[in-house]
């Protein structure tokens, strides 16, 4: 009984670790990182950290054009905003 509770807790915790959108596009369709970053910078974003998330989306940490701190997930093909935190 105890092992079932531990297993259920592990599943719940792993779901939290992967919280964020999933992008399931083939990588050959992805916008090149440099082009993607330049597009965001042209819109006024200051990118402090750029990475590919566990869900295979582009993710940035930085500041928007108003200077507000942002964490944003983007579709790597269309550059559409998927989630903002």
Condensed to tens digits (0 to 9), the pLDDT of residues 49-64 reads 999 999 999 999 999 9
Number of independent structural domains in the chain: 1
Chain centroid to CA 22: 8
6 occurs within a structural domain: no
77 occurs within a structural domain: yes
56 occurs within a structural domain: yes
**Which of the pair, 69 or 14, is modelled with greater confidence?**
69
Q: At residue 65, does pLDDT exceed 70?
A: yes
pLDDT category of residue 77 using cuts at 50, 70 and 90:
very high
| Domain of residue 26, CATH code | 3.10.450
SS3 67: coil
63 occurs within a structural domain: yes
Mean pLDDT for the stretch of residues 4-30: 66
- E strands, 1-85, are 46-52, 58-63, 69-74, 81-84
Return the structure tokens found at 35. 């082009």
Chain centroid to CA 56: 7
Condensed to tens digits (0 to 9), the pLDDT of residues 15-26 reads 445 568 999 999
Closest of 67, 69, 78 to residue 49, by C-alpha: 69
Domain that holds residue 34: 21-84
């Amino acid at each position: 009984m105890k092992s079932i509770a531990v297993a259920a807790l592990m599943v719940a915790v792993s779901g939290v670790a992967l919280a964020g959108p999933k992008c399931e596009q083939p990588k050959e369709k992805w916008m090149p990182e440099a082009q993607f970053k330049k597009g965001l910078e042209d819109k006024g974003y200051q990118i402090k950290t750029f990475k590919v998330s566990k869900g295979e989306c582009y993710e940035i940490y930085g500041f928007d054009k108003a200077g507000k701190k942002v964490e944003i997930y983007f579709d790597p093909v269309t550059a559409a905003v998927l989630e903002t935190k």
